[in-house]
Amino acid sequence: MKKILLLCTLYFFAAQVFVSTLHASASSGVDSSKITSWKLDAKPLDVVHTLDNQKVYILGNDSKVHVFSANGTKLGSIPIDQGVTAIDIEPRGTRLYLVNEKDNTFTSLAISFVTPIDVSGSPFLGDENAPVVLAVFSDFQ
């Protein structure tokens, strides 16, 4: 009888340890690792990124939206009104939405990126300083 009682006690103890181990591993089932981190020019208030994860927009407390590439290279900043507390981006990344709690306003900004192209030494026709616009029609197949 003592043997059976001792075996039941050991079995019960082993089962408790097994169940608590399962419970602990289930509650800590999330793993994470830092991908990237970079220093910001201002205190961040809000952040959004494009669906293709190529650009990150960070609303700073300096009344600017700071634009970064996915690897942390700063692409520029967009000055905005004071009081903007939240930002969002249109799925294609061509419009930035701003919510201003101070003025109770919503603003939509069209976003486009200017990329300088070095054409020094290249032949040209017309005004040397004429602006050039390249349009990309990405929705055609």
The residue count for the chain: 141
Beta bridge partners of 66: 58, 77
Cβ neighbours for 42, distance < 8 A, ≥ 6 positions apart? 60, 61, 62, 64, 66
pLDDT band at 37 (very low <50, low <70, confident <90, very high): confident
Beta strand 84-89 with 74-79: parallel, antiparallel or unpaired? unpaired
Residues 47-98 have pLDDT tens digits of 999 988 889 999 999 999 999 988 889 999 999 999 999 999 998 888 999 9
pLDDT band at 11 (very low <50, low <70, confident <90, very high): low
Please give the Cα distance from 31 to 33 (Å, whole number). Answer: 7
* pTM across the whole model: 0.64
